[in-house]
């Protein structure tokens, strides 16, 4: 058409404009809807990723096992005497659940990868340590656990349980790999780790911790070292101890994994702010104080208060061993409360624990414990080429390092402080106590009796004293495994844990914690299979897990 009708052309323009207008409106509406959806589903104020260092910091904080709680009562270090606030019973419920922490470990590793860090980096290396630490700790409390099929999210909501033996074997593999990875990172001068609350981002200290913790886990297998040769417990211990260049270990308490308190953000659980509430509701245990006084051990002057009623009745100095007395953990709480409030039992030392907000660091894995673990391994004949001389050397180091923690000199005078009778916090009577390590060590009960059952008992008693208020349930775990050792069971365990009406559970020390209650409904089949294979179908706190058989 060369020419067009003007009227028809105008009408056609109107017709064409209308669908174009509809298309424009539709496009605009679609764009608005998409923008609105973007706003409500992609909140710009909500992060879509987290720096691995932030997750690392949280995982590190979960390593902290605080003093002044049930762990210390179940380790029979001190006791609660006022039933309104608790009791000293071994009526265990669910064990600790660290699966959320372990999920954060997985995410920490993923975020490190997103940052473009190499496949081997500090976060993946320490992720292996964290897996070993948290899985083994939960297993020590409960027994078999979901491990290989765990941490998969919605991909597997019903993970099967791995045996306790498999958990320990895998933990050793993780620790071995963590040590190798850390060695490579240190050699390469890697400095990508940040936000470390324990070691100031020092990978060499983490490597020492990895190997020191490896020794702790091997010690926990003391009852299965001979009937499970595939575990190679003695060989692993010899390999680590005999190759310090490949497996560096802690060399002093400066290498401790310890939680340091900082006022006013992180306060020691006992402090001036809660003294008025807790001061008389807790008292020392005879299991702990009894060993100290039996050994004429100066640590009692730092950790405990003299029992005022004994000071008065005996007419002796408050700085005398005879006036320190702990309660039997099995005593009825009503009776214990009356005696504690009438000055018949020792209390936590006011000057050391309550006078400030930062008291002392809380050791999670420490050098003194490592010394005793090595001494025990040598005593048991696990370390090729080492005998009584080496065992005694490590044993003495452990004692000396523990005393040094409390600023007790090898020889000289120790200044001690006790709350003045009837006075408020801050008013102390001071005494000078002569101390001499050689004299202390040469006592028959202290001087190492050789690589024998008696020598092993001495090592474990000193280990118990060194772990006062430290390392969570480690002393409870140690008592439990000594009760599974025929030679030490005949001694009543090490140390002897006391029982009675106050400890409940029909006068028995519980041997394990129960599984989280939601396993019964959320993972029923695997939960029941785990109970059937271990404890005759019952989630029994007196059930004997594999490691103790």
Least-confidence region, from 26-30, 147-151, 300-304, 343-347:
26-30
- pLDDT number for residue 1: 36
Beta bridge partners of 7: none
Least-confidence region, from 132-136, 159-163, 174-178, 277-281:
277-281
Whose CA is closest to 296, among 404, 128, 434? 434
- pLDDT number for residue 29: 42
The string of pLDDT tens digits covering residues 233-261 is 999 999 999 999 999 999 999 999 999 99
Full-model pTM: 0.92
For the cut 50, the answer to whether the pLDDT of residue 129 exceeds it is: yes
Q: What is the mean pLDDT of residues 13-21?
A: 40
- pLDDT number for residue 193: 98
Phi, psi of 235, deg, nearest 5: -65, -40
Residue 386 CA to chain centroid, in angstroms? 30
d(CA 167, CA 113): 26
Which residues neighbour 30 within 8 Å (Cβ) at sequence distance 6 or greater? none
> Omega before 113 cis (within 30°)?
no
β 78-80/428-436 pair status: unpaired
Beta bridge partners of 413: 434
Assigned token pair, 208: 């020492």
d(CA 52, CA 124): 10
- pLDDT number for residue 49: 80
Whose CA is closest to 399, among 362, 432, 438, 361? 438
d(CA 443, CA 401): 18
Mean pLDDT estimate for the chain: 93
Which residues neighbour 72 within 8 Å (Cβ) at sequence distance 6 or greater? 78, 469
Burial of 200 (0-12, 13-18, 19+ CB in 10 A): exposed
Q: What is the rounded radius of gyration, in angstroms, for the C-alpha atoms of the chain?
A: 30
Which residues neighbour 89 within 8 Å (Cβ) at sequence distance 6 or greater? 502, 503, 504, 505
Which residues neighbour 199 within 8 Å (Cβ) at sequence distance 6 or greater? 205, 206, 209, 257
- pLDDT number for residue 38: 52
- pLDDT number for residue 42: 65
- pLDDT number for residue 254: 98
Please report, rounded to a whole number, the percentage of residues in the chain having pLDDT higher than 90: 90
d(CA 188, CA 457): 44
Whose CA is closest to 302, among 356, 238, 351? 351
Higher-confidence residue: 10 or 420?
A: 420
- pLDDT number for residue 341: 95
For the cut 60, the answer to whether the pLDDT of residue 492 exceeds it is: yes
d(CA 233, CA 167): 14
Q: What is the mean pLDDT of residues 407-433?
A: 97
For the cut 50, the answer to whether the pLDDT of residue 198 exceeds it is: yes
Whose CA is closest to 502, among 345, 348, 327, 344? 327
> Per-residue confidence at 20, pLDDT binned at 50, 70, 90?
very low
- pLDDT number for residue 277: 87
For the cut 50, the answer to whether the pLDDT of residue 3 exceeds it is: no
Q: What is the mean pLDDT of residues 412-439?
A: 97
H or E element at residue 434: strand 428-436
The string of pLDDT tens digits covering residues 434-448 is 999 999 999 999 999
Whose CA is closest to 207, among 254, 236, 246, 158? 246
Phi, psi of 282, deg, nearest 5: -130, 145
Residue 479 CA to chain centroid, in angstroms? 16
Assigned token pair, 455: 């020598």
For the cut 90, the answer to whether the pLDDT of residue 370 exceeds it is: yes
Q: What is the mean pLDDT of residues 96-109?
A: 98
Residue 303 CA to chain centroid, in angstroms? 21
For the cut 60, the answer to whether the pLDDT of residue 19 exceeds it is: no
For the cut 50, the answer to whether the pLDDT of residue 391 exceeds it is: yes
Assigned token pair, 453: 């059952």
- pLDDT number for residue 32: 47
For the cut 90, the answer to whether the pLDDT of residue 495 exceeds it is: yes
Please report, rounded to a whole number, the percentage of residues in the chain having pLDDT higher than 70: 92
Q: What is the mean pLDDT of residues 29-41?
A: 49
Q: Which residue has the tokens 């003007």?
A: 6
For the cut 50, the answer to whether the pLDDT of residue 112 exceeds it is: yes
d(CA 474, CA 479): 9
The string of pLDDT tens digits covering residues 278-316 is 888 999 999 999 999 999 999 999 999 999 999 999 999
Domains by residue range for the chain, with CATH? 96-249 (1.25.40.390), 275-506 (1.25.40.390)
- pLDDT number for residue 9: 41
The string of pLDDT tens digits covering residues 46-64 is 667 899 999 999 999 999 9
> Per-residue confidence at 41, pLDDT binned at 50, 70, 90?
low
- pLDDT number for residue 40: 52
d(CA 459, CA 495): 11
Q: What is the mean pLDDT of residues 205-214?
A: 98
> Per-residue confidence at 483, pLDDT binned at 50, 70, 90?
very high
């Amino acid at each position: 058409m060369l020419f067009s009708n003007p009227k028809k052309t105008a009408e056609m323009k109107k017709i064409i404009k209308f669908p174009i207008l509809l298309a424009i409106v539709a496009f605009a509406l679609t764009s608005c809807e998409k923008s609105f959806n973007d706003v409500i589903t992609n909140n710009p104020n909500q992060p879509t990723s987290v720096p691995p260092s932030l997750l690392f910091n949280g995982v590190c904080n979960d390593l902290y096992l605080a003093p002044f709680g049930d762990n210390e009562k179940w380790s029979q270090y001190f006791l609660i005497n006022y039933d309104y606030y608790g009791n000293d019973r071994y009526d265990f419920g669910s064990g600790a659940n660290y699966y959320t922490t372990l999920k954060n470990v997985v995410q920490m590793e993923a975020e490190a990868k997103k940052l473009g860090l190499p496949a081997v980096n500090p976060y993946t290396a320490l992720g292996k340590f964290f897996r070993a630490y948290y899985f083994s700790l939960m297993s020590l409390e409960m027994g078999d656990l979901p491990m290989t099929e765990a941490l998969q999210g919605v991909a597997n909501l019903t993970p099967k349980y791995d045996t306790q033996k498999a958990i320990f074997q895998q933990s050793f593999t993780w620790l071995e790999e963590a040590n190798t990875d850390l060695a490579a990172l240190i050699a390469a001068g890697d400095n990508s780790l940040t936000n470390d609350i324990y070691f100031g981002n020092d990978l060499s200290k983490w490597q020492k911790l990895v190997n020191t913790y490896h020794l702790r886990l091997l010690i926990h297998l003391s009852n299965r070292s001979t009937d499970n040769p595939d575990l190679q417990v003695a060989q692993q211990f010899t390999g680590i101890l005999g190759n310090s260049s490949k497996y560096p270990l802690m060399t002093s308490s400066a290498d401790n994994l310890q939680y340091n308190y900082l006022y006013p953000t992180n306060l020691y659980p006992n402090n001036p702010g809660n003294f008025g509430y807790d001061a008389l509701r807790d008292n020392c245990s005879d299991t702990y104080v009894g060993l100290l006084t039996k050994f004429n051990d100066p640590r009692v002057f730092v950790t405990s208060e003299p029992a005022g009623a004994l000071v008065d009745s005996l007419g002796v100095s408050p700085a005398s061993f005879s006036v320190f007395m702990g309660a039997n953990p099995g005593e009825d709480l009503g009776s214990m409360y009356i005696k504690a409030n009438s000055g018949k039992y020792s209390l936590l030392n006011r000057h050391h624990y309550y006078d400030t907000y930062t008291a002392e660091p809380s050791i999670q894995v420490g050098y003194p414990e490592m010394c005793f673990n090595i001494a025990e391994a040598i005593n048991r004949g696990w370390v090729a080429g080492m005998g009584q001389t080496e065992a005694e050397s490590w044993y003495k180091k452990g004692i000396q390092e523990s005393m040094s923690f409390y600023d007790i000199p090898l020889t000289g005078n120790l200044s001690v402080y006790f709350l003045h009778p009837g006075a408020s916090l801050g008013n102390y009577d001071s005494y000078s106590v002569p101390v001499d390590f050689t004299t202390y060590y040469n006592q028959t009960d202290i001087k190492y009796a050789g690589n024998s059952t008696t020598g092993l008992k001495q090592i474990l008693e000193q280990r118990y004293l060194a772990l006062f208020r430290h390392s969570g349930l480690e002393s409870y775990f140690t008592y439990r495994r000594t009760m599974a050792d025929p030679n030490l069971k005949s001694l009543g365990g090490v140390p002897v844990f006391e029982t009675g009406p106050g400890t409940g559970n029909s006068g028995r020390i519980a041997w394990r914690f129960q599984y989280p209650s939601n396993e019964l409904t959320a993972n029923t089949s695997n939960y029941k299979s785990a109970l059937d294979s271990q404890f005759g179908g019952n989630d029994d706190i007196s059930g004997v897990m594999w490691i103790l058989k």
